Structure formats: structure tokens, C-alpha cells
Amino acid sequence: MLKPTENSAEPFFQSNDGGLTDDFAYRAVSRAAVLSTAFSVIGLLSWISPLLVVIPLLAVVFGFVGLSKIKRYSSELTGRVWAIVGLVLGLSMLIAAPVKHGYIYMTEVPEGFERVSFSVLKSPTGAPDFPTPAAMELSGKKIFLKGYIHPTSLSGMSAKTFVLVPDWATCCFGTQPPLTHMIEVRLVNEKFAQKSFRQHSLAGTFEVIPYKKQVDGLDGVYYLLEAEHFK
């Protein structure tokens, strides 16, 4: 009968510290590296909206944090590739998106038109819902502004007349906005408006109506825009 040798009870794998060998040691994936990649992918949306540029910035921050942690705890953490991908993609969008949106901002206003924000047309919170002094000063002038088509204001799939509202929530949920948050638009070019949830750019002659003008599907408007440009 074979007798157990002196070394037969020793484990098959053995390391200096009595645990697993380095080749079989478990290393966790860095959460910062994974978050960097996730934010960099979501950050691609910053190419569409300048408000989302903060997302690729987060990708860059988490990418640097991930690489730093992996370098410091190399025996415990992995995910260097994830961190590099997130860092490079995030940094690319952090540079490219602002350049694109900056170029659009500098060139989108047609010659002879003044850029106007909906904020100067809206009555202050708690104040009577009447045209603002700034709106009265703009009456009769050529202005450029951006907004969304209110879904109930189109008479069909496409139309030459619709109501413009300032924010995406009002556009998509179709609620009744305050009167000074709406502009009735009449397209005087060859284009037609169609139902959509995206932001549009318009340029035309702005007018303040001294009475509440009725519009289909809504309470009424004080503002009118004869739009020569619609995009």
C-alpha cells in the first residue's frame, strides 16, 4: 500500500502568504472607470443640446479619478481601458460640442434681425399676465428667437400658422401656458410647420396685440410673429 509522503498534504496552489497566487487574485473593476465610459456615451447628446455639455465633463472627471485609483491600487482594481475610453471620448465631446454650438450661436441670426429671448416677453411670476415693457418696445421690430410648437395649435399635420412656446415641457404635454408665454406665428415664406418636439429657430416681424386674440385650442395670445425664416 502506498504511504502518504511528507508533502502530500500540502495544497496544490501555494503562495508566499498562504493565499492564492497573483495570477488568480481577484481585482474589482473601478466604478469610476465604468462611470466615465457611461457618462461619455450619454455625453454624445451634448452634440445636440449645449445644456448637456456638463455630461462629458463628468466623463473626464471620472476618467481621471479612475486612472488615479487604478494606478494607486493596481493589485485591487482593474478597468484602465474603461477609464481611457471614457476620458478620451468625454474630452473630445467637451471640446467639440461647445465649438459647434458657439459657431451656431454666432451665425444663426439672419442679418437685420435682433436676437430675443422668451424671458423678456414673459410676465414675472405673480404679476398680471400682460405684455411686458420690453415686449412693447420690440413691437414692430424684426426679431430672432427660438421655441417649440404647441401641439394643439396646428390645424393639421402641417400648417402655416401655429403657437410658439418657450419650453419643452409645455410643448410636449400640451398644457395651457400663460398668455405671455405664447406667440402666434404666421409663416410668410414657402415653408410649412409640422408637429414636432424639437426646438425651432424663427425670424420675423414681432407685434404686440392690444387685446387677447383668440386661437384654436388655447385661451389666446398677445404676441404675433410674421415669420420670414423658419428652421
Q: Largest Cα–Cα distance in the chain?
A: 113
Whole-angstrom distance, CA of residue 149 vs CA of residue 184: 10
Query: pLDDT tens-digit profile of 7-26?
Result: 444 443 344 444 444 554 67
Q: For the domain 114-230, what is the CATH code?
A: 2.40.50.870
Query: pLDDT tens-digit profile of 31-79?
Result: 999 999 999 999 999 998 888 999 999 999 999 999 999 989 888 889 8
Query: Whose CA is closest to 113, among 80, 141, 154?
Result: 141
Cell of 33: 472607470
Amino acid 209: pLDDT: 87
Amino acid 8: pLDDT: 42
Cell of 87: 476620458
DSSP state of 50: G
For residues 55 and 45, is the Cβ–Cβ distance under 8 A? yes
CA angle (202 as vertex; 122, 159 as ends), nearest 5: 100
C-alpha 176, offset from chain centre: 24
pTM: 0.69
Percent of the chain clearing pLDDT 70 (strictly above):
83
Query: pLDDT tens-digit profile of 176-220?
Result: 788 888 888 888 877 887 777 788 889 999 999 888 887 766 777
Whole-angstrom distance, CA of residue 165 vs CA of residue 183: 7
Domain range annotation of the chain: 22-107, 114-230
